[in-house]
């Protein structure tokens, strides 16, 4: 029983990171119908820029804030330089652009930060809390709390603010939103900034646990994508639930089978969703008028 609880706590921790990445996917997908495979690189940048700023002497909270703001600005630049010029191109072309952006960011990060593995201190120390017969690190609570807080913040933003409703209107019908006066280019810019900032926050929160390097983004992107698909692409609640479910599956796989196979859980989830549940757990069936 103690082993099961320990595996579950570990799974929930990593699942919270996947949920944050999946929420980033969801924001971009809702605004543009594009799956942004550079989302994992935003997670990497959040951790790496925090390490760089902290090493340069900035206090850790300031270093984390700088990392989130810089990454959000890079998300805006990606939209302006890569996505907007290709507006009107097939969705597949836009997805390929995001893959190219991911490769470019990864290569630039290798040149700037090097190939070394980096980390920085945990926010609240390294003394674990005991829950029954299992333990959990204080930083894990930061990760889980961060995922839940971001979800609540996005829910309030989309349901209680005029700007958030403009984002939803753009996701439902871009042309109709333009006709009623919504500035859809600004909505796209905001969506990329939010998505990149959330990805960077995930990187900031998880780096003291897993450490970071220039090449961690690909794994986060694939697993965040799997979580978003499992929950229902475009559904924030589904992204949160999908992330936690995928994390728990990984934790149980690593604990009861082998840690060598835990990464396969994400690919099994993708295949399972594609074959048996194309709309995901919370996705809605759509119909096209012809």
Question: Could you read off the pLDDT of 101-150 as tens digits, one per residue?
Answer: 999 999 999 999 988 999 999 988 888 888 877 888 899 999 999 999 99
* Distance in angstroms (rounded) separating the CA atoms of residues 242 and 227: 4
Q: What is the pLDDT along the chain (290 residues), one digit of tens a residue?
A: 678 888 898 899 999 999 999 999 998 888 877 888 999 999 999 999 999 999 999 999 999 999 999 999 999 999 999 888 887 778 888 889 999 999 999 999 999 998 899 999 998 888 888 887 788 889 999 999 999 999 999 889 888 888 888 888 887 777 888 888 888 888 889 999 999 999 999 999 999 998 999 999 999 999 999 899 888 888 888 899 999 999 998 888 888 887 777 778 778 888 888 788 778 788 665 544 43
Residue 24: C-alpha distances to residues 28, 37, 113, 178, 211 (Å): 7, 10, 24, 24, 21
DSSP at 259: G
Which pLDDT belongs to residue 289? Answer: 42
DSSP at 128: P
pTM of the model: 0.91
Kindly list the structural domains of the chain, giving each domain's residue range(s) and its CATH number in brackets, ordered by start: 2-276 (1.10.3470)
Residue 120: C-alpha distances to residues 51, 125, 200, 210, 249 (Å): 6, 11, 15, 10, 28
CB 244 within 8 A of CB 44: no
């Amino acid at each position: 029983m103690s082993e099961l609880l320990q595996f579950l706590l570990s799974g929930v921790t990593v699942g919270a990171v996947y949920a944050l990445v999946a929420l980033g996917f969801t924001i971009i997908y809702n605004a543009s119908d594009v799956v942004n495979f550079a989302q994992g690189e935003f997670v990497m940048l959040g951790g790496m820029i925090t390490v760089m700023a902290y090493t340069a002497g900035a206090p850790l909270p300031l270093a984390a804030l700088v990392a989130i703001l810089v990454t959000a600005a890079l998300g805006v630049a990606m939209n302006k330089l890569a996505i907007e010029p290709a507006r009107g191109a097939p969705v597949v072309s836009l997805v390929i652009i995001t893959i190219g952006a991911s490769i470019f960011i990864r290569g630039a990060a290798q040149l700037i930060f090097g190939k070394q593995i980096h980390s920085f201190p945990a926010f609240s120390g390294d003394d674990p809390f005991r829950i029954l017969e299992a333990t959990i690190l204080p930083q894990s609570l930061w990760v889980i709390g961060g995922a839940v807080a971001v979800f609540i913040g996005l829910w309030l933003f989309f349901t209680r603010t005029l700007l958030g409703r403009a984002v939803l209107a753009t996701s439902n019908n871009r042309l109709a939103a333009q006709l009623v006066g919504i500035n859809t280019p600004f909505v796209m810019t905001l969506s990329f900034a939010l998505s990149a900032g959330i990805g960077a926050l995930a990187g900031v929160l998880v780096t003291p646990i897993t450490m970071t390097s220039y090449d961690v983004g690909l794994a986060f992107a694939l697993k965040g994508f799997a979580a978003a698909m499992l929950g229902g692409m475009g559904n924030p609640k589904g992204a949160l639930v999908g992330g936690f479910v995928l994390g728990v599956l990984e934790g149980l796989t690593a604990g009861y089978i082998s840690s060598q196979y835990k990464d396969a859980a994400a690919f099994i989830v993708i295949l399972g969703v594609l074959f048996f549940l194309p709309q995901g757990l919370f996705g809605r069936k759509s119909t096209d008028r012809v």
